[in-house]
Structure 1
Amino acid sequence: MTSTPPPSDRRPSRQRDPFSEFKDETEVVEDVVHDGKRVRRRGIYLLPNLFTTAALFSGFFSVVAALNGNFGSAAIAIFISMVLDGFDGRVARLTNTQSEFGEEYDSLADMLSFGVAPAVVAFSWILQDVGNLGWIAAFIYVAGAALRLARFNVQIGSTDKNWFIGLPSPSAAAVVAGCVWTFHSFAATALGFKVLMAIIVAAVGILMVSNIRYYSFKEVDFRSPVPFVALLAIVLGFVVISLEPAVMLLLFFGGYALSGPLMSLWRRYKGIPAPAPMADDTREESDTADSPEQSTQHGAPESAGSSESTDETRR
């Protein structure tokens, strides 16, 4: 008589999910302080990063459009990227979804949208016609944008939030995009005009890494009551811009880019010292323009006008 073996106490092991190891290795993990304790947070916040991704897509579309000769669409895409870059940081703060991942992602997106894209658009449009001068001017702009964003990231907490040090990258991008949008339809064949555009592109690149101060407009309290005439002025501004958006945006951001050097010369002439730097816990804001150079996104687009000028409202 055959005896039945006793039932095993060992339970069958669960089959390991073949994707679990991949998920563990690719998951974003951040050390954050919550209620005075350091905890590890897994994953990323979707909403603010959607705006950053949209801004990145718009910047990439600008490059593709320029390579296809659609310079008007390329310039418009840069301005759209500035607007989107101005939203991601504000959305992150309103929804309390700031993260270090969002800050880094936003900086990389700003580098494409406000650094590489304007240079490629300008070079494809007219700078390639002036030989070495054209690509050198485009490279100066790209290098200026990269250095500005790097300097901005390491200066957080040590500068006065009411001033930008150097032209914000979204504002610099807006100057270049405004020139392209305004003049691309003209058959500009004069060598002098092409050289002038190369000088403008290189100049705004240098302004981004200069020590010239630009007003950040952060002292403006948008939550306080204002006279009724202020709303009327805003409506009038929209009407004027809608008549000739390319020209008006170029004048606005061009004037902002010139305001820094002019104010610096005026202070020297009057013997007025520059505003002293002061510690501040908030990031610079385009924003929009250098957006604009954006972003305390997910905490700063690198503000005058849009995103950075919002330079950089980082998260």
Structure 2
Amino acid sequence: MTKRRGIYLLPNLLTTAGLFSGFYAVVMSMNGKFEHAAVAIFVAMIFDGLDGRVARITNTQSAFGAEYDSMADMVSFGIAPALVAYNFGMTELGKVGWLAAFVYVSCAALRLARFNTQVATADKRFFQGLASPAAAAVVAGMVWACQDYDLNGHDYEYLVALITGMTGVLMVSNFKYNSFKEVDWHGKVPFVAILAIMLVFIIVATAPSLVLLTVFLLYAVAGPINTFRTVDKVTLEDLVGDTEADADFDENTASDEDSELK
């Protein structure tokens, strides 16, 4: 019996929803609605986290889905954050502004390409460089927090450009970032853990923009700290460039199904 040709609906529908959220963020930033734009990027992160897990749960993984997911991520976590940041606070910087945005976009593209080529050999416990959704969260969190606290992006245009550009550079660095993939999501936890999770939701709900910005900024800074703490002698290959393996990683084999964060 010939296998029916086509694509799986559910995971690709979630990927499309993430793609739409990224495009929506760009449109909202063009209309000056930066809070809506920033929130849309976080919504895209949720869909990006769901599509891979749903594909594995329903056994609907496919090569098409993996490629489509990468294309959607480039829009949602590469182009969208850069344009949102540019429209928010860098339009008056001239070449400096759009170059800072382009640095972010190009680094996001390189980050995704490197991830796709190293997925079978990288240590699954760590990411090499800041994952693109986390980088997008830093930029989107910055814009969202500024909007919540009535800070005009053009008053801090150089800071906006610096954060956008440096976040992009972190994506193509060799800094080690915990992937949290070793967490056993199927195991049992103490009752107090549920209470702790409820407390986290309450804290986030009190000031979502500030809390999310703080969390992802700390995560972005944790990469360099984690690398310098575990490497006896820091070399250029530990910071950026090509390496035979990930920066000071063990030569373990990663699962080719782990593609939620890139």
Q: Same fold per TM (> 0.5)?
A: yes
Secondary structure at 2:105 match in 1: helix
Bigger Cα Rg: 1
* Residue equivalent to 2:72: 109
Query: Does the aligned pair in 2 maintain the 1:137–1:199 contact within 8 Å?
Result: yes
- Residue 215 (structure 1) aligned to one of 164, 178, 203: 178
Q: Are 2:158 and 1:195 equivalent residues in the alignment?
A: yes
Q: Which runs of 5+ in 1 are unaligned?
A: 1-38, 285-299, 301-309
Counterpart AA for 1:110: D
Aligned-pair identity in percent equals 52
Secondary structure at 1:42 match in 2: coil
- Residue 140 (structure 2) aligned to one of 156, 177, 186: 177
Give how far 1:124 is off: 0.4
- Residue 251 (structure 2) aligned to one of 258, 277, 282: 277
Q: Are 2:46 and 1:96 equivalent residues in the alignment?
A: no
Residues paired across the two proteins, number: 248
Report 1:158-177 matches (<5 A).
158-177=121-140
Secondary structure at 1:184 match in 2: helix
C-alpha deviations, 1:188-244, integer Å up to 9, x for none? 3775x2211111100110110111110000111011111111111100000000000
Q: Are 2:123 and 1:123 equivalent residues in the alignment?
A: no
Superposed structure 1 runs of 4+ greater than 6 Å apart: none
Counterpart AA for 1:102: G
* Residue equivalent to 1:256: 219
Secondary structure at 1:205 match in 2: helix
Secondary structure at 1:158 match in 2: coil
C-alpha deviations, 1:104-159, integer Å up to 9, x for none? 11000000000000000000000112222111110000001000001111112101
Counterpart AA for 1:84: F
TM norm structure 1: 0.75
Task: Decide whether aligned partners of structure 1 residues 100 and 136 sit closer, same or farther in structure 2, where only a CA change above 3 A counts.
Answer: same
Counterpart AA for 2:157: K
Counterpart CA distance in 1 for 2:54 and 2:18 is 14
Counterpart CA distance in 2 for 1:194 and 1:106 is 32
- Residue 224 (structure 1) aligned to one of 176, 180, 187: 187
Q: Which runs of 5+ in 2 are unaligned?
A: 235-246
- Residue 56 (structure 1) aligned to one of 19, 22, 27: 19
Query: Does the aligned pair in 2 maintain the 1:157–1:283 contact within 8 Å?
Result: no
Task: Decide whether aligned partners of structure 1 residues 243 and 254 sit closer, same or farther in structure 2, where only a CA change above 3 A counts.
Answer: same
Counterpart AA for 2:49: G
Counterpart CA distance in 2 for 1:219 and 1:170 is 19
* Residue equivalent to 1:233: 196
Counterpart CA distance in 1 for 2:145 and 2:153 is 15
Secondary structure at 1:214 match in 2: strand
